[in-house]
Amino acid sequence: MRKLLFLALSLMGVGNFALTAQAQAPFLPAAADTRCRQWVDSVLSRMSLRERVGQMLILTLPAKANAKQENTLRTAIRNYHIGGLLFRQGTAEEQAILTNMGQAETKVPLMITFDGEWGPAMRLKDMADFPMNASLGCIEGDSLIYEYGREVARELRELGVHVNFAPDADVNINPQNPVINKRSFGSDPVRVSAKVAAYGRGLEAGGMLSVSKHFPGHGDTDVDSHLALPVLPFSRARLDSIELYPFRRAVQAGLGGIMVGHLQVPALEPDGKTPSSLSHRIVTGLLKEELGFTGLIFTDAMEMKGVSSVPQATTRAIVAGNDMVLASDNLRRTTDELLQAVRSGTLSHAVVNERCRKILTYKYLLGLHRRPAPLHVSGMSYRMNTDKAQTLAATLRHEAVAVINNGIGEFPLTSYRNTPLAVLSLGEGQDSLFVAALRKETEVKQYLLAPADSTETMLHTLADQLSYYRHVVVTVSGRDVDAATYAARLSRLQLPVPAVYVFFVSYRGMQSLHASLQQAGAVILAHSGEPDLQQYAADILRGKTTARGRISMRF
């Protein structure tokens, strides 16, 4: 991607391009500058103003190949000449059908984008279930993250995708963040930066343009920008040390794309009201000029409440310095707005031409100067979700398992003097495979604490029963478990021995049990409850393997 950026800058007349990060091998076929320029000039010369404006727009569409979506896509291409597509939930086969249709309809090949922070499974059914970033952030070393990026790129290229809106570069230092949380690699900006660079390089080595987001940083917010405009009330020094740190490193690493979020940042935009995505000071002044980013810049979705109510928002986003916008569903209104802005002089012809030239340059470098061959729809899911992908997903899950607060110093746990090992199951009780694995080598007595079990009599009886055991293992499992409902009950149990807690849920399940965990003998964070993880956690307790991860989040 670094060579790609250098070539793009040369073609657009931008000099003095230098990066401090070590160069990586180019992932795109080498092309002479003159060939790229000739193609861009040739395409640009045949485009009307309406077509040039359309290149800056990305339409979001469900990956459902029905008559409604096909008509929407056909209209978007024929009437508004969109430059790209972003698919939402659906299936790989249906997305492939719509991609084939779109590429056949358009004069200038479409840039197909995808929002796959943790791979295709984030949006599509029947894909390899890769861990979310909060889990990946626990992995020590970054070579596996790089290989994960390459695999995600392989799967998406199979699907005809050119751009992945990943990695998430937000530093999640606010445990109560309602929208980023598990999407972030962690709460340490240095560690987050390393994971961002590794994942991004892997994507780009696999032929996929990576897009780091949400600039200038959405990690320490308590508002979801889908619903309102979050505020980052921090000093510039604080922003430099935390929020901006991973983006600065992404730029230095030569990663090719950045997405600007809808955030209010008074230290960067003194008017105190302009969203970052619409701020010339932030997009051009900070990202382009100060940080030196020269890659492709995308806005977050323009229909999000953090920006959707702002008049002339799309025009302001382009004027601010963004190259492509994730347009609202009303393409007619958006196109008319941009054309009127050109007529009024608010948006100059020069800016439109510059953005269009840059987009076309990236399309060339992504191979779109050749009309894409039709995707082979049949068996698409199987070609994406291979045995190799499943094996990699399992390896990532295992490497992310972390043991913390280990005060007992005695794995393996076993029965003691004919006394079974006690397992207290919280949540939805989806730990049966874990318990079965333990029972292969030791006697286990399981107890269940259901949400309704809160009377003093019930808790007193349970406490008496557990006092009989030398070792108590407390499991938390279930996709929708609310660990907070158990916090008070656990404190009232007053377990007689330091318990070992095993979380088959994300780190967020640990937050509500913070007081109880301070008294724990050990805590195993498995992140989720897949069968292989339940077996792996049991092996840790039985001393057959060790946990190699390191927790990445504050809790």
Last residue of a domain, one of 364, 394, 424: 394
Q: Is residue 186 part of a domain?
A: yes
pLDDT at 20: 33
pLDDT at 292: 95
Report the chain (555 residues): mean pLDDT per 10 consecutive residues: 48 36 41 82 97 98 95 97 96 97 97 96 94 96 97 98 98 89 95 97 96 96 83 96 97 95 95 94 98 96 87 97 93 97 97 96 93 96 97 97 71 67 86 95 88 77 88 86 76 78 90 81 93 96 91 83
3-state secondary structure 94-141: HHHHHHHHHHHHCCCCCEEEECCCCCHHHCECCCCCCCCHHHHCCCCC
Q: Is residue 314 part of a domain?
A: yes
Question: What is the residue type of 38?
Answer: Q
Those residues with Cβ within 8 angstroms of residue 211's Cβ, 6 or more apart along the chain or in another chain = 163, 164, 165, 166, 256, 257, 258, 259, 296, 298
Q: Is residue 466 part of a domain?
A: yes
What tokens appear for 239 in the block? 């922003």
Residues 427 and 362 in one domain: no
Residues 443 and 337 in one domain: no
Residues 343 and 449 in one domain: no
Domain CATH for 488: 3.40.50.1700
What tokens appear for 334 in the block? 């958006």
Residues 293 and 225 in one domain: yes
Question: In the chain, what's the furthest Cα-to-Cα distance?
Answer: 87
Least Cα distance to 76 among 98, 95, 48 occurs for 98
Residues 436 and 325 in one domain: no
Residues 76 and 214 in one domain: yes
**In Å, how far are 177, 315, 446, 456, 508 from 266, measured between CA atoms?**
20, 22, 54, 51, 30
**Which residues lie across from 500 on neighbouring strands?**
473, 522
Pairing of the two strands 402-404 and 522-525: antiparallel
How far apart are alpha carbons 273 and 266 in whole angstroms?
Answer: 8
Those residues with Cβ within 8 angstroms of residue 84's Cβ, 6 or more apart along the chain or in another chain = 57, 58, 59, 110, 111, 112, 113, 163, 324
Q: Is residue 550 part of a domain?
A: no
pLDDT at 308: 83
How far apart are alpha carbons 366 and 208 in whole angstroms?
Answer: 8
3-state secondary structure of 281: helix
- Cα 440 to the chain's mean position, in Å? 38
pLDDT at 33: 76
Q: Is residue 549 part of a domain?
A: no
Q: What one-character DSSP code corresponds to residue 506?
A: -
* Number of domains composing the chain: 2
Residues 471 and 486 in one domain: yes
Q: Is residue 554 part of a domain?
A: no
Burial status of residue 408 (CB atoms within 10 A of its CB: 0-12, 13-18, 19 or more): middle
Q: Is residue 547 part of a domain?
A: no
Tell me the residue range of the domain where 99 lies.
2-376+386-394
Those residues with Cβ within 8 angstroms of residue 86's Cβ, 6 or more apart along the chain or in another chain = 58, 59, 60, 61, 113, 114, 115, 165, 326
Last residue of a domain, one of 344, 363, 394: 394
Residues 210 and 340 in one domain: yes
**Which residues lie across from 258 on neighbouring strands?**
212, 297
Residues 183 and 276 in one domain: yes
How far apart are alpha carbons 522 and 485 in whole angstroms?
Answer: 21
Residues 10 and 68 in one domain: yes
For residue 486, give the H/E element and its range. helix 484-493
C-beta atoms surrounding 414 within 10 Å = 18
**300, 323, 431, 539: which is the annotated catalytic residue?**
300
Those residues with Cβ within 8 angstroms of residue 330's Cβ, 6 or more apart along the chain or in another chain = none
Please give the angle made by the CA atoms of 343, 348 and 350, to the nearest 5 degrees.
135
**pLDDT, tens digit, for every residue of 362-392?**
999 999 999 999 999 999 999 999 999 999 9
Pairing of the two strands 421-427 and 472-477: parallel
Last residue of a domain, one of 394, 422, 453: 394
pLDDT at 21: 36
How far apart are alpha carbons 188 and 246 in whole angstroms?
Answer: 10
**In Å, how far are 401, 460, 531, 536, 540 from 545, measured between CA atoms?**
11, 36, 16, 8, 5
Residues 144 and 228 in one domain: yes
Residues 371 and 413 in one domain: no
**In Å, how far are 152, 156, 519 from 196, measured between CA atoms?**
14, 18, 34
Least Cα distance to 252 among 285, 291, 205, 215 occurs for 291
Domain CATH for 268: 3.20.20.300
3-state secondary structure of 226: coil
How far apart are alpha carbons 137 and 452 in whole angstroms?
Answer: 35
The radius of gyration of the chain's CA atoms, rounded to the nearest angstrom, is: 26
Q: Is residue 488 part of a domain?
A: yes
Q: Is 300 a catalytic residue?
A: yes
pLDDT at 417: 59
Least Cα distance to 203 among 170, 171, 167, 168 occurs for 167
